[in-house]
Amino acid sequence: MEPRTDAQRRLLATLEPLLPAFAQRSAELDRSGGFFFQNFAALQATGYMAAPLPAESGGGGHGLTDLVYAQRAIARADGSTAYAVGMHLMTAGQEVAAASWPPHLRERVFAAIVRDGATINSVVTEPELGSIQGGGLPSSSFRPDGEGRWRLNGHKTFSTLSPVLSFFLTAASFQDGSGEMGRAIIPRERGGIRVAETWDALGLRGTGSHDVYFEDTPVTSDDFLVRHPPGAGGQPQHDFAWFALLVSAASLGVAEAARDYAVYFARTRRPTGLGGPIAQVPYVRHEIGRIDADVITAQALLFATAEAWDRANQQDSDARARLAPRVATAKLRVTDLAVAIVDRCMRVVGGVSLQRSEPLERYYRDVRGPLANPPITPRGLEIIAQAALDDD
């Protein structure tokens, strides 16, 4: 599916010269589990970190649909790069859409992104708690340290982009007898933040999703987004579109790369007993047909949903809220289709698909990562069921 607007074409034209090098480095990053520092620096130099910020703030002024196109293109070259950078883009993009942060924090973070190519991500998952979306209090804590000051201690997991994060958006409980929770944005240079390089996963190995330890990290009252009772004060459910659709874009990009590899293999693989390429074998042709049908379906669903979200974003929060079932459907179906596409590609390619020297086994592993991202299947289905059964 080709971009439809000049803004989308300009953004892709900025990225396209970088992608061959991303693809060339992908296998080594996967094998070593190292972080994509070179890819990150290249994206940072283009101003990509500011792509979702408003033009009046010095950003690129790109909406969600523009970045779905961009993230899909990056993922075709390297899934880890797209997935990890997407965490920054979605955190910034959500705030552009929701405008929920205190103005001084919004200005501080946005100015650093535009000026320095700074990054931000939500770092809230904990070993015992799991995802904060599941409810419960984090064991991380804000301990009072004088008027308007606290010390943060805690252990966070799945902290994507941790090697280069400029701002850590995190959550913890207050140790002041209130039983309340707080969310804060803490700059890296504040100190007391330790990254333990623990990320050694099946797929998306270059994302730098290490463990982060806050060790008496200084926090001030100016750092807080919100303070609230447990279970209250989170983002509205419908604000998850940036997360859900950019994760889906990374899944689709990986699946499309697998599709291109399988098609190339089918056209060029010539077993001596066949007398021609395996592209002439009926089974292979049927599988490629199914693959492309799934690609077209995923593209149509993902881009139509992103465009609907951008239109709703120009209206009001109620219009976005009504799209929650559609967003959940897009995330569930696109990620499932992406997995199915890569699996079919492996059936076309056969035993060669298992070789580490070829990219398909990496696509097979990388495309499964977003299945664990919210909304996971049961929560996504509940969002869809709620609209059908509970809402007026």
Tens-place pLDDT, residues 35-73: 999 999 999 999 999 999 999 999 999 999 999 999 999
Structure tokens at 369: 């990562």
Specify whether the CB–CB gap between 117 and 57 falls below 8 A.
no
pLDDT surpassing 70 at residue 80: yes
Domain boundaries 122-228, CATH class: mainly beta
Short-list 158, 19, 131, CA closest to 78: 19
Cα separation, 68 vs 265, whole angstroms: 28
pLDDT surpassing 90 at residue 240: no
Specify whether the CB–CB gap between 23 and 44 falls below 8 A.
no
Cα separation, 362 vs 370, whole angstroms: 14
pLDDT band per the 50, 70, 90 thresholds, residue 167: very high
pLDDT band per the 50, 70, 90 thresholds, residue 313: confident
pLDDT band per the 50, 70, 90 thresholds, residue 314: confident
Note the pLDDT of residue 92.
97
DSSP β-bridge partners for residue 220: 149
Phi-psi region of 329 (alpha: psi -120 to 50; beta: other; left: phi over 0): alpha
Short-list 328, 338, 120, CA closest to 241: 328
Task: Read off the pTM.
Answer: 0.95
Average pLDDT score over residue span 168-176: 95
Note the pLDDT of residue 392.
65
Specify whether the CB–CB gap between 212 and 186 falls below 8 A.
no
Note the pLDDT of residue 338.
98
62: Cβ contacts below 8 Å, ≥ 6 apart: 7, 11, 51, 52, 70
User: Which sequence spans correspond to the domains of the chain?
Assistant: 6-117, 122-228, 237-389
Average pLDDT score over residue span 80-96: 97
Q: Poorest-confidence range of 131-135, 145-149, 309-313, 353-357?
A: 131-135
* Angle between helix 282-313 and helix 241-268 axes, rounded to 10 deg: 160
pLDDT band per the 50, 70, 90 thresholds, residue 115: very high
pLDDT band per the 50, 70, 90 thresholds, residue 178: confident
Specify whether the CB–CB gap between 364 and 202 falls below 8 A.
no
pLDDT band per the 50, 70, 90 thresholds, residue 229: confident
Specify whether the CB–CB gap between 159 and 195 falls below 8 A.
yes
108: Cβ contacts below 8 Å, ≥ 6 apart: none
pLDDT surpassing 80 at residue 228: yes
Instruction: Give the CATH number of domain 6-117; options: 1.10.540.10, 3.40.1440.10, 3.40.50.300, 3.30.70.360.
Output: 1.10.540.10
Average pLDDT score, the chain: 94
Asked: is 237-389 a CATH 1.20.140.10 domain? The reply is yes
Cα separation, 392 vs 389, whole angstroms: 9
Structure tokens at 224: 């807080």
Short-list 32, 205, 246, CA closest to 121: 246
Q: Which helix (H) or strand (E) holds 143?
A: strand 141-144
Q: What b/e sequence results for 262-284 when a residue is b if at least 16 CB atoms lie within 10 Å of its CB, and e otherwise? A: bbebbeebeeeeeeeebbebeeb
Note the pLDDT of residue 132.
66
Q: Would you call 271 helix, strand, or coil by DSSP? A: coil
Domains 6-117 and 237-389 equal at CATH topology level: no
Cα separation, 225 vs 102, whole angstroms: 6
Note the pLDDT of residue 150.
97
Q: Poorest-confidence range of 19-33, 280-294, 370-384?
A: 370-384
What share of the chain in percent tops pLDDT 90? 85
pLDDT surpassing 70 at residue 239: no
